[in-house]
Amino acid sequence: MPSIRAPGAKKSTTLTVAVKCRPLRHKERGRDIVQVIESKEVLILDPDLSKDYLDRIRNRTKEKKYCFDHAFGPDSTNLEVYTKSISSIIPEVVQGLNVTVFAYGSTGSGKTYTMVGTKDDPGLMVLSLHTVFDLIKMDKRADEFEVTCSYLEVYNEIIYDLLEKSSGHLELREDPEEGITVAGLRCIKKQMPTILGLLQVHSAGKILELLNMGNSRRKTESTEVNATSSRSHAVLEISVKRKGRNKYPNQVLHGKLALVDLAGSERATETNNAGQKLRDGANINRSLLALANCINALGKQQKKGLAYVPYRNSKLTRILKDGLSGNSQTVMIATISPADIQYHHTVNTLKYADRAKEIKTHVQRNVGVVDTHVSDYQRMIDSLQVTEVCQLKKKLAEKESELSSKPAEKAADDELSWLNIISHEISENVQERINLQKAMSELEETNLNNRSELQRLDDIISRHQAVELDGAIVKDLIARRLVILDNIRENDEAGINYQKEIEANEKQRGQLQGMIDEAVSRNGNKTYLRILSQYRLLGMANSELQLEVAMRDQVIRHQREGLKNLWNLLMGQGLDEKQISHLAVKQGLRIEGWTMTPLALVEKQSSSLTSSRPTSVGPSSGIEYLEGTKTCDFTISIFKG
Ligand SMILES: Nc1ncnc2c1ncn2[C@@H]1O[C@H](COP(=O)(O)OP(=O)(O)OP(=O)(O)O)[C@@H](O)[C@H]1O
């Protein structure tokens, strides 16, 4: 019997921010200027000792104080950080919720130490993994669990697999069911109670072994501040699928835990590096800049409503999208150094963390079904990418080494490697275009919502003005109207920039294509050309499939919207669960996952729902104007008929 899913309850939660100050190192010059007060406050003393009492009372001091959810001093262990700020939310992962933990701070401030740790002081990645396995072992129900683990790094805006010895470049995919995924990323799988899977892992210990191997593959460099500075952003993802044996047998709860060790947040110039290192710095900062922009926009969203969040501006922010805004309970660990020479970095990190406190996420249980058309489709594309394209790449490499062993063909060889680079650039160019087009359509959607809110506001303002009701209300509504207009203007400006980027991207595509066609027409090596054209054709086919997937995502989003309206309509009629189920049965439909009556649901979701009472417009507008509408959020999935 075909089925639809009942609306799921969403829980709004703010980002948890914890600060950890590392100990002053023996070799470190300078003075300790950080004080942690009552496990919540962080006081940064003025690094300039020459300031006298008078300067201080004239408020010329650079002393600063911040308050966070948790603050840990130099004596705190990783276990303490874990127990107080994370351990309570890890069990949610086993219950189908998403959790994201990321460490942010300047180079040498202790991010890797906190996330990975040492043998004597294991880090948050290790402690969380143990908890996940322990929780599964202790589970009393007869449910089946599947735990998979992947570990990647983003270096110079390229994604590498840390679980692969020599990983190629990996690409991001957007799946309407799974969210952002990385095609071709190696996943270590453990199934409980039956152990199946390609790569079997019998315990957390085995995964930890692989994790250590992955860490040793991370791109590190010696900077002036840190001898083994991580130049990349590393993301460990632990995914837990739980399949019920008795109730809803084809229902799967899918929780994800993402643990992120970011690269240093310092500016490239300040690490006094040059050449490749400087390029690393610029690219690391491109991702971190994008992250800062997203955090700003998300903070603004709490105050202003529908601000556009530019997740698409970097690989890192695309990967972290769910963790930052969407369906995730998120913890930020801001790491700082106590040294006076690090004052500016420390204050920058704390300012950033202070802003992040404002971010709200909306957590919802991820419920799926065992089999879906969508994931089949995605798997098909991934296998095309991973197997066929990889095989062709291998053949190409073989052919190239064969050619380079013949001196007479050296010129052809050079030409061929050049062609290879160009082919890769074309594929990157297509990816970028898809990304830009999606960003454009998201922007348009945001502005569509802004415009409809504007329309509603205008109607209500004119109604209020007509009957000359309370002037204060009209004043508030007009102020809100200005905020919305401001949002629309900013989004329109961002749209113009995206449009320009799309045009530049198309121009580059044309140039690359022209170069490759010319080179191919000049090259005489028939075998190579055959393989190359096959490779390119496959690459094109893959890109086209991706475009189709992007368009299909859009359709699914609209279907989701349609179904949401349908539920709103049903609930607006005041029907109860029994009546709706009865209607559904008559239509040959089954409703899955109903755990409470729609009325109870309406009450639970009081922030987004309205009954006959008016409700507020924006998250903090304090204005009430919507009348008599009921709305609710829900999830849908695609079922085989
Ligand atoms: N809590 C701590 N206790 C003891 N030593 C620490 C602690 N935190 C960090 N350290 C030490 O400080 C140094 C820098 O730490 P780490 O490499 O973790 O910094 P990072 O923020 O990851 O730097 P980068 O961004 O350059 O990779 C290391 O030698 C580490 O062992």
Give me ligand 1 centre to Cα 609, in Å. 47
On the question of pLDDT at 284 being above 70, the answer is: no
Residue 106 counted as an annotated binding residue: yes
Q: Which two tokens stand for residue 126?
A: 């290790």
Residue 11 counted as an annotated binding residue: no
Among 220, 223, 222, 218, residue whose Cα is nearest residue 235: 218
- Cβ(70)–Cβ(18) below 8 Å: yes
- Give the residue whose CA is nearest to atom 13 of ligand 1: 108
Q: 81: number of CA atoms within 13 Å, CB side?
A: 38
- Cβ(225)–Cβ(268) below 8 Å: no
Position 17 scores a pLDDT of 93
Residue 339 CA to residue 615 CA, distance in Å, equals 50
Selected residue with higher pLDDT from 122 and 55 = 122
Class of domain 3-370: alpha beta
Give me ligand 1 centre to Cα 111, in Å. 6
pLDDT tens for each residue of 107-161: 889 999 999 888 888 899 989 988 888 888 887 776 788 888 888 999 888 888 8
- The response to whether residue 109 sits with its C-beta less than 6 Å from ligand 1 reads yes
Residue 423 CA to residue 428 CA, distance in Å, equals 9
Position 540 scores a pLDDT of 61
Domain boundaries, the chain: 3-370, 376-562
Contact residues for 435 (Cβ-Cβ < 8 A; gap 6+): 312, 318
Selected residue with higher pLDDT from 49 and 357 = 357
Selected residue with higher pLDDT from 41 and 178 = 41
- The response to whether residue 181 sits with its C-beta less than 6 Å from ligand 1 reads no
Position 377 scores a pLDDT of 44
Q: From the CB of residue 325, how many other CB atoms can be counted at a distance below 10 Å? A: 21
Q: Is the complex ipTM higher than 0.85?
A: yes
Is the preceding peptide bond at 310 cis, omega within 30 degrees of 0?
no
Highest mean pLDDT among 40-54, 232-246, 336-350: 336-350
Give me ligand 1 centre to Cα 106, in Å. 10
Mean pLDDT of 488-501: 83
Position 618 scores a pLDDT of 34
Mean pLDDT of 19-41: 87
Atom nearest to 78 CA in ligand 1: 1
Residue 105 counted as an annotated binding residue: yes
φ, ψ dihedrals at 384, nearest 5° = -60, -50
In Å, what is the CA distance from 606 to each residue of 97, 438, 595, 613? 21, 32, 17, 11
Strand partners of residue 253: 242, 367
Mean pLDDT of 298-305: 63
Residue 555 CA to residue 374 CA, distance in Å, equals 12
- Cβ(336)–Cβ(109) below 8 Å: yes
Maximum pairwise Cα distance, the chain = 91
Atom nearest to 265 CA in ligand 1: 25
In Å, what is the CA distance from 128 to each residue of 5, 69, 117, 133, 139? 31, 20, 12, 9, 17
Position 636 scores a pLDDT of 27
- The response to whether residue 105 sits with its C-beta less than 6 Å from ligand 1 reads yes
Position 361 scores a pLDDT of 62
- Cβ(172)–Cβ(182) below 8 Å: yes
Residue 492 CA to residue 420 CA, distance in Å, equals 38
**DSSP letter (8 states) at residue 197:** S
Mean pLDDT of 163-175: 77
Position 603 scores a pLDDT of 39
Contact residues for 45 (Cβ-Cβ < 8 A; gap 6+): 33, 34, 35, 63
On the question of pLDDT at 412 being above 70, the answer is: no
Please give the full DSSP string across 68-87, using - where no structure is assigned. Answer: -SEEE-TT--HHHHHHHHTT
Position 67 scores a pLDDT of 92
Strand 360-363 with 11-14, pairing = antiparallel
Position 198 scores a pLDDT of 35
Helices (H) and strands (E) in the chain, counts: 17, 23
Give me ligand 1 centre to Cα 110, in Å. 3
Percent helix / strand / coil, the chain, rounded to 5: 50, 20, 30
Using a 10 angstrom Cβ sphere, with 0-12 exposed, 13-18 middle and 19 or more buried, the burial of residue 301 is buried
Residue 598 CA to residue 33 CA, distance in Å, equals 55
Strand partners of residue 98: 256
Residue 270 CA to residue 250 CA, distance in Å, equals 55
Residue 262 CA to residue 154 CA, distance in Å, equals 9
On the question of pLDDT at 619 being above 50, the answer is: no
Position 196 scores a pLDDT of 36
pLDDT tens for each residue of 72-84: 999 999 999 999 9
Mean pLDDT of 535-545: 62
- The response to whether residue 112 sits with its C-beta less than 6 Å from ligand 1 reads yes
Mean pLDDT of 187-200: 50
- The response to whether residue 634 sits with its C-beta less than 6 Å from ligand 1 reads no
SS3 track for 213-271: HHHHCCCEECCCCCCCEECCEEEEEEEEEEECCCCCCCEEEEEEEEEEECCCCCCHHHH
Position 271 scores a pLDDT of 42
In Å, what is the CA distance from 132 to each residue of 13, 88, 91, 367? 22, 12, 7, 19
On the question of pLDDT at 70 being above 80, the answer is: yes
Strand partners of residue 181: 173
Residue 111 counted as an annotated binding residue: yes
DSSP element (H, E) containing 361: strand 360-363
Q: Is 516 left (phi over 0), alpha (psi -120 to 50) or beta?
A: alpha
Strand partners of residue 150: 237
Best mutation site among 36, 82, 112 for ligand 1, i.e. most ligand atoms within 8 A of its Cβ?
A: 112
Position 534 scores a pLDDT of 60
- Cβ(367)–Cβ(95) below 8 Å: no
Mean pLDDT of 91-109: 88
**DSSP letter (8 states) at residue 313:** G
- The response to whether residue 22 sits with its C-beta less than 6 Å from ligand 1 reads yes
In Å, what is the CA distance from 608 to each residue of 9, 595, 614, 617? 11, 19, 11, 10
- The response to whether residue 218 sits with its C-beta less than 6 Å from ligand 1 reads no
Mean pLDDT of 608-637: 32
Q: What is the rounded radius of gyration, in angstroms, for the C-alpha atoms of the chain? A: 27
- Give the residue whose CA is nearest to atom 9 of ligand 1: 110
Selected residue with higher pLDDT from 491 and 177 = 491
Highest mean pLDDT among 74-88, 282-296, 309-323, 342-356: 74-88
Residue 324 pLDDT level (bands cut at 50, 70, 90): confident
On the question of pLDDT at 364 being above 60, the answer is: no
**Which parts of 99-168 fold into alpha helices (H)?**
111-115, 124-138
pLDDT tens for each residue of 421-452: 776 777 677 777 777 777 777 788 788 888 88
On the question of pLDDT at 372 being above 50, the answer is: no
Among 67, 112, 63, 70, residue whose Cα is nearest residue 89: 70
Mean pLDDT of 617-636: 32
Selected residue with higher pLDDT from 38 and 498 = 38
Residue 108 counted as an annotated binding residue: yes
In Å, what is the CA distance from 301 to each residue of 49, 324, 361, 508, 619? 40, 12, 11, 35, 8
Contact residues for 473 (Cβ-Cβ < 8 A; gap 6+): 464, 623
On the question of pLDDT at 400 being above 90, the answer is: no
Share of the chain above pLDDT 70, in %: 57
- The response to whether residue 113 sits with its C-beta less than 6 Å from ligand 1 reads yes
Position 620 scores a pLDDT of 33
Residue 598 CA to residue 608 CA, distance in Å, equals 14
Burial letters 276-296, b for 16+ CB under 10 A, else e: ebeebbebbbbbbebbbbbbb
Strand 220-221 with 11-14, pairing = unpaired
- The response to whether residue 338 sits with its C-beta less than 6 Å from ligand 1 reads no
Tell me the pLDDT of the chain averaged across its residues.
71
- Give the residue whose CA is nearest to atom 11 of ligand 1: 110
- The response to whether residue 229 sits with its C-beta less than 6 Å from ligand 1 reads yes
Strand partners of residue 254: 241
Strand partners of residue 295: none
Residue 66 CA to residue 17 CA, distance in Å, equals 11
Given the structure tokens 């160009």, which residue do they identify?
422
Position 630 scores a pLDDT of 30
Given the structure tokens 């359509």, which residue do they identify?
441
**DSSP letter (8 states) at residue 15:** P
Selected residue with higher pLDDT from 131 and 355 = 131
Selected residue with higher pLDDT from 553 and 346 = 346
- The response to whether residue 176 sits with its C-beta less than 6 Å from ligand 1 reads no
pLDDT tens for each residue of 550-597: 666 666 666 666 677 677 777 777 777 777 777 777 776 666 655 444
On the question of pLDDT at 309 being above 60, the answer is: yes
Among 350, 420, 435, residue whose Cα is nearest residue 172: 435
Residue 560 CA to residue 547 CA, distance in Å, equals 20
Residue 100 CA to residue 319 CA, distance in Å, equals 11
Strand partners of residue 34: 44
Position 143 scores a pLDDT of 76
On the question of pLDDT at 14 being above 50, the answer is: yes
CA end-to-end span of the chain, whole Å?
A: 7
Share of the chain above pLDDT 90, in %: 11
